[in-house]
Structure 1
């Protein structure tokens, strides 16, 4: 009759103690190289249509960051006026999408 073998090798068990989830490892790497701000900026630009909707995304010509401000060039003057009036709501929607206070001001061009 065969008996199951149990691993009594201590080096294998100590390696298991050093194992970390990939998510935690990547987050530590992002923090170490101070990439979180840039990652948030890329997330905002890439999810602009999801945040603001397709109609606004179609009228958006350009979107970029400078010194913590989000600059958005809108091709429609009436839409631009509406967005300027709802600037605080736009900021709240963007920051909610990212999960942190990524931007403090939005400038509509």
Structure 2
């Protein structure tokens, strides 16, 4: 039986409960990571970014430039750290550039 929230619950608590009960967090994380990639990487990288996908704890980034793919592969740890700091939790543990 579903847990009933009292009338004193804040909107944030109610939304958190709905997200947990309906297992919506992976979908929300997927959208949020795309937005974080766009804001953190800037226009130069985003112009060569084709697709950003989060599956489990792995971020898959499809790029149209082989040179940029190689350059970004050197900074994987820094990119992971930047994204995780943005979310204040470990959402990405690995990045795969394609």
Class of the TM-score when normalised by the shorter of the 2 chains: 0.7 to 0.9
- Shift, 1:23, TM fit: 1.2
TM-score, normalised with respect to structure 2: 0.83
- Shift, 1:51, TM fit: 1.6
Indicate conservation of the 8 Å contact 2:52/2:61, yes or no. Answer: yes
Q: Structure 2 CA distance, aligned partners of 1:58 and 1:76?
A: 10
> 1:1-109 to 2 correspondence within 5 Å?
18-109=7-98
The structure with the largest alpha-carbon Rg is 1
Indicate conservation of the 8 Å contact 1:62/1:73, yes or no. Answer: yes
TM-score, normalised with respect to structure 1: 0.75
Gaps of 5+ in 1: 1-16
- Shift, 1:18, TM fit: 2.3
Deviations 1:39-64 (A, max 9, x none): 11210112321021111111101111
How many aligned residue pairs are there? 93
Indicate conservation of the 8 Å contact 1:41/1:102, yes or no. Answer: no
For residue 14 of structure 1, what is the aligned residue in structure 2?
none
Q: Structure 1 CA distance, aligned partners of 2:86 and 2:20?
A: 20
RMSD: 1.6
